[in-house]
Structure 1
Amino acid sequence: EFTGGDERLREWVKRQGEVPQAIFIEGGYVTPADLARSLPPQYFRETAPGIYLARLPIVVSQGATLHIGQQTKDFRLSSERGAFLINDGTLFITDTRLTAWRETENQQDWFKTKGEFRPFLNAWGGTETYIVNSQVASLGYSGTKSYGVSISQYSPGIAPTMGRGHPTGWLINSVFDDMWYGFYCYEADDVVLKGNIYKNNIIYGIDPHDRSRRLIIAENTVYGTHKKHGIIISRDVNDSWIFNNRSFENNLSGLVLDRLSVNNVLAGNELYRNKSDGITLYESGNNLLWGNKSFENARHGIRVRNSMNVRLYENLAVANGLLGIYGHTKDLNNIGRNLKQDPFSTDMSLTVVGGRLIANRTGDISVVAPRSVTLYRLDILLPNQPSGIGMFGALSSHKNQIIDLLVRQQKAVQILPVDQLTQSGQ
């Protein structure tokens, strides 16, 4: 994976200054101290008590285990020498620190330029990766699968040949800082991200991707993402639980479900002061949002596009820059999207039960061109519109009746398009 395409082998040769070499851990249980005893110091050495510097890539082979534990104060990967860490077996990083390191400046390799190499960690198909009570800093750049900390099945061209199962891992109570992506996975199963801090990362904080399943993303704090979203779950990432996270002050949305990610539960998350929406759902139906708090975001509290059967229960949207809840459709045909890989339909339906919409700047709720909208027990307080409660789209022409049914009569309201009413004989 790292010897072909986009001049990557050339980069490897340039940084090592010789025929490319790597450190292979072929079997057994190995620690950094074991490596330092076994390898020439120009390739791997202990530079101070408990501080290790790798000047070659390290590969943990199938059947081998590398444990970077509390006896290691800092495990440094040399940027100038093109070091990186590949897990093809089992990797433990516990009670320690993993750092991309610039030898010439004697400091961690803070992000400077998009395409400039920085060390990374990637775990391939069939592997287990555990990062617990640790700090991981300044890993990753824009090269494929070189994003920072990645747990990824092999690419489609070689996965059948390798014949390995889906990778997995637990990342718990750790800090990820100045990463290209704080976390990325591809076709990974049963990954747990719990109690971590993702701060000041470049593109995304947390980014589970293509066909990852049964994830638990819980009790994480994600903030200060420079370019895009705090948390994004994208492309057929299904059957997962995303709960009790805080995502704030990111450059776009706090939490995104995207590209046919279905059967997920988003519960108890707090999304605030993001520069786009608090929660965004694009082309991702059959999801449940329960008890989330979205406030003081620059755009919408909760936005749903081209997504059927989205259920919003007991959510709170307060003081967002545009709407509390915005449901709509959009034709994506002429925007350069790969429609075979990422199909869509301009269908959208919402069920909103309970929750509160409070003081959202341009209105409370707008639902445009829905297949259906159901509202029940929804509290709308402190509306900013001169005309009172701000209901738009399919709700606007019957706003008074809807408010009467919702508020005075305490009844559920369902809005259907005229063609559906005609077909059902109503």
Structure 2
Amino acid sequence: MTTRSPAPAAGPANDPLTANRALAAALLRRERSRRRGVHLLMVVMTLLCAVTLSVTVGRQYRELQSTSEFFHRHAYVPSYDPLSNVILGLPPNTVDVRDSAPAPDIRGITLRRGEISLVAGGELVRSIPLAGPVTGLPDVVRAVDDPSWIDQDGHGKVTLHAALIVSPGGSLTVTAPVTDLVMAVRRGVLLGVDGGRLTLNGVNVRPDTAGGDVNRHAVDERRPFIVATHQAHLAITRSHLSYLGRDWNSSYGVAWSDGSTGSMTHSEVDHSFIGTYTDHARDVLIEQNWFHDNTLYGVDPHSYSTNISVRHNVSERNGRHGIIFSDFVTGGVVEGNITRDNRLNGIMMDASSTGNRIIGNTSTGNRGDGIVLASSPDNVLANNMVTGNRVGIHARGDRANVQVRGNTVEGNQLASQGVELAGNAVRDNGDQWRPRVLIGIWSAVPLVVVLLAGVTGLARRRRDRMSGRPALAVGT
């Protein structure tokens, strides 16, 4: 007789209901894990999209324009100053007296206290004693009494056919009834003050043949100009000066040199080689003038000039910089000026020009940079408006102890190079974050995540209904 084994007793391990519950719980855990993975993936992808948009859309990128442009300039050559050339009868470009001979067509009228002298080719032609002080340019015309040297038309115009130089001890004021001072375009003709005092008030000063410098060479040695030298005093006010100067030492247009001082106020200078220039000058005031369309610079204090004040001028459409201090120009101020639409930089401190204050200026629309510091430490840039340039504020070379504060830098291709702009208002420049766009991008991130989660849930439920899959749950 065969003995049958007893059936196994039912228990938790062999209960079908328990097994189903375990399977359902495992599937639910797996489904929840998958959902968490999907949600995490959505968050990560949304964040990556936000980062990509922040870098591509939330930051401005503008390609910097090239400022390289050919500009012809003569190399600097030490030479006699222009007034010495006239007195010695030497041609304007004389470098060494041993290589040049006096020329009779180089003529000058020198005004001293009590005397007028006429010189030609370095020789005295005539000496004219004066019974009293010279009160104006008509007195000089009457004393010389020779229209081949200087003449007047009786309607306010005086024409120089020779250089007119106010020598030490001499003084001359050119004002009404003279309204037009015309200088002949010929070698050696200029208006100069050599240790004396010269004032221009309400006068138009120009050459007798107004010629532009379309090629920007300024090589015509006949082009007249105004220069003060040897601690002279030159003051110009309410005057218009045009088509003056060339590319030669101190012959640039209107120049103060060799310890000279003075001022230019309420005047206009245009189509000259340089609007105004200083060289080893001191205490020169350049205020409320309009410099425009000059071949090189509008305002150019240069070479160890000190205490130069450039205030409330407009310098625009010049061939290079609007205002430049270069070569150890110290202790000056550039305040309240407008420099715009120049073919290079608006305002520049160059070659160890230190201890200057650049305050409250507007530099806009220049092809180059708004304000530039080139190897010029210890300067202050404050409260300037710098807009629409290539680089807003640009510093290179030695820039120790440079203070940059309170400036508004806006709408430039690049906000700055070589200098930090903390403490300044910086907005809407190229290569710069755009805060409003960034706020929009990152404010949308949670909304996008919630929207994607909702869309994913709807899609999942629709899929479950179409497949007939029951909802997963663990029950009794």
- Do the two structures share a fold, i.e. TM-score over 0.5? yes
| 2:108 aligned to which of 12, 18, 22 | 22
Alignment of 1:56-135 (within 5 A): 56-80=162-186, 82-88=188-194, 89-102=196-209, 108-112=210-214, 113-117=217-221, 118-135=223-240
CA contact (8 A) 2:92 2:187 kept: no
Higher helix share: 2
1:185 and 2:291 are equivalent in the alignment: no
User: Corresponding residue for 1:363?
Assistant: 432
Alignment of 1:225-374 (within 5 A): 225-226=318-319, 228-297=320-389, 299-306=390-397, 307-321=399-413, 323-327=414-418, 352-363=421-432
Q: How far is 1:100 from its partner?
A: 1.8
CA contact (8 A) 1:244 1:268 kept: yes
Whole-angstrom distance in 2 between the partners of 1:138 and 1:25: 25
Q: 1:294 to 1:383 in 2, by over 3 A?
A: farther
Higher strand share: 1
User: Corresponding residue for 1:344?
Assistant: none
**Cα deviations across residues 41-74 of structure 1 (Å, max 9, x unaligned)?**
1111013411010000111101111111132110
What is the identity, as a one-letter code, of the residue corresponding to 2:172?
Answer: L
What is the identity, as a one-letter code, of the residue corresponding to 2:432?
Answer: G
Whole-angstrom distance in 2 between the partners of 1:283 and 1:7: 32
Partner of 1:37: helix, strand, or coil?
helix
What is the identity, as a one-letter code, of the residue corresponding to 1:26?
Answer: R
Partner of 1:59: helix, strand, or coil?
strand
What is the identity, as a one-letter code, of the residue corresponding to 1:260?
Answer: S
**Cα deviations across residues 305-361 of structure 1 (Å, max 9, x unaligned)?**
12111111110111112x21211xxxxxxxxxxxxxxxxxxxxxx564522111111
Whole-angstrom distance in 2 between the partners of 1:211 and 1:70: 35
Q: 1:387 to 1:95 in 2, by over 3 A?
A: farther
Whole-angstrom distance in 1 between the partners of 2:95 and 2:137: 26
Whole-angstrom distance in 1 between the partners of 2:405 and 2:202: 39
Partner of 2:139: helix, strand, or coil?
helix
CA contact (8 A) 1:234 1:257 kept: yes
Partner of 1:301: helix, strand, or coil?
strand
What is the identity, as a one-letter code, of the residue corresponding to 2:289?
Answer: N
CA contact (8 A) 1:356 1:381 kept: no
Q: How far is 1:95 from its partner?
A: 1.3
* Greater relative contact order (CA < 8 Å, ≥ 6 in sequence): 2
CA contact (8 A) 2:344 2:369 kept: yes
CA contact (8 A) 1:98 1:136 kept: yes
* Percent of aligned pairs sharing the same letter: 26
Whole-angstrom distance in 1 between the partners of 2:230 and 2:175: 23
Partner of 2:140: helix, strand, or coil?
helix
Runs of 5+ unmatched residues, structure 1: 11-15, 103-107, 154-165, 328-349, 365-379, 389-426
Instruction: Tell me the TM-score normalised to structure 2 length.
Output: 0.65
1:148 and 2:253 are equivalent in the alignment: yes
Which stretch has the larger CA shift, 216-225 or 73-82?
Answer: 73-82
Whole-angstrom distance in 1 between the partners of 2:330 and 2:105: 43
**Cα deviations across residues 180-213 of structure 1 (Å, max 9, x unaligned)?**
0001001111110000000100100000001111
* C-alpha RMSD over aligned residues: 2.5
User: Corresponding residue for 1:42?
Assistant: 148
What is the identity, as a one-letter code, of the residue corresponding to 1:147?
Answer: Y
Instruction: Tell me the TM-score normalised to structure 1 length.
Output: 0.72
Whole-angstrom distance in 2 between the partners of 1:286 and 1:127: 30
Alignment of 1:159-238 (within 5 A): 166-226=259-319, 228-238=320-330
Whole-angstrom distance in 1 between the partners of 2:157 and 2:184: 13
CA contact (8 A) 2:256 2:277 kept: yes
CA contact (8 A) 2:335 2:361 kept: yes
What is the identity, as a one-letter code, of the residue corresponding to 1:73?
Answer: T
User: Corresponding residue for 1:402?
Assistant: none
**Cα deviations across residues 221-256 of structure 1 (Å, max 9, x unaligned)?**
000102x11100011111111100000000000000
Partner of 1:63: helix, strand, or coil?
coil
Partner of 2:298: helix, strand, or coil?
strand
Whole-angstrom distance in 1 between the partners of 2:410 and 2:149: 55
**Cα deviations across residues 105-137 of structure 1 (Å, max 9, x unaligned)?**
xxx343355211210111002111100111111
Whole-angstrom distance in 1 between the partners of 2:172 and 2:435: 56
CA contact (8 A) 1:359 1:382 kept: no
Higher-Rg structure is: 2
Partner of 1:35: helix, strand, or coil?
helix
What is the identity, as a one-letter code, of the residue corresponding to 1:111?
Answer: D
